[in-house]
Amino acid sequence: MVPVSERMHTLGASVEFSGVGAHTGRVVRVVINPSDAGRVVFRRRDLDGLGVEVDPERAETQSCTLLAGEGACVRTVEHLLASLLMCGVDSAEVTLDGEEVPILDGSASPFVEAVEGAGRRPLRRDRRVLVLAKALFLDDGAASISLEPAPDLEVSYLIEYPHPAIGRQEMSLRLDGKSFKERIAPARTFGFLKDVSKLKALGRARGSSLENTVALDDTGVVNPPLRFPDEFVRHKILDLVGDLALLGAPLRARVRALRAGHALHLRAVRALQRGREEFFPPPAA
């Protein structure tokens, strides 16, 4: 008999929210519906329900994580995907009437609260758990990411910015629903005022504001207070979890990222996708 804890789960009820996209600057309405399909899929309501699959091979990085489909894309999916993964929701249909998931307050907390409020229900499907069989290491100059076999998801992340409000920050933790909700989900996205003009010229950051982004000028934080003294590295961990969610199943591994970002996260996820080993139920630790 398959343990109840290893069944797939979907939402207990639909969840709805709306807000501005950080990059497009457009207001988008999102509805997350329960689904028995066994996976998370996005649908563009403004494009006759055209679907966009959650797949590392369809992902791109453009100051966010973007999923591209046939004739459609959905951008800034990382906070929502991280929340669904860490709240134990394996299957859902996300419909939206635009191309970008709203940034809300810049963190994953609103998504977590909404998903928890809807509850979960089990599906008559076995839950896949991805267990790393061998170590993986990727680098890009001074940036690197490594993954080693482990019985749980453990993350260590180090960032270094030549800025007085950030400097060198490092955090390590074992990630589960509780630690994610309390220690990672509240961390907001951040950006530098000196980059705003260049980003907007590229069609990005048009919806970023002091209400959804921790803004930094040359000397400090423009819109204090921070939610954590090390909020910056915590947000990097949030982005990493969202990118790992592209695998479509929970990963058990020890992940260490040094000065990484979406591009290196995606390289690692694609490498895992192409050579991954699936176990169900998971092997004994």
The residues carrying an active-site annotation are: 262
In sequence order, what DSSP letters do the residues of 109-151 get, joined into one string?
HHHHHHHHHH-EEEEEEEPPEEE--S-EEEEETTEEEEEEE-S
- Degrees (nearest 5) of the Cα angle 259, 265, 267? 120
Query: Which positions ≥6 away from 163 have C-beta within 8 Å?
Result: 192, 216
Give the dihedral sign, CA 146/59/103/113: negative
- 146 vs 47: CA distance, rounded Å: 39
Find where tokens 């950030």 sit. 166
- The encoded tokens of residue 59 equal 């992902």
- The encoded tokens of residue 36 equal 């028995």
Picking from 204, 231, 236, the residue whose alpha carbon sits closest to that of residue 215 is 231
Q: How many CB atoms lie within 10 A of CB 182?
A: 11
**Residue pair 4/45 in contact by the 8 Å Cβ criterion:** no
- The encoded tokens of residue 166 equal 């950030």
- Degrees (nearest 5) of the Cα angle 194, 65, 6? 140
Strand partners, 166: none
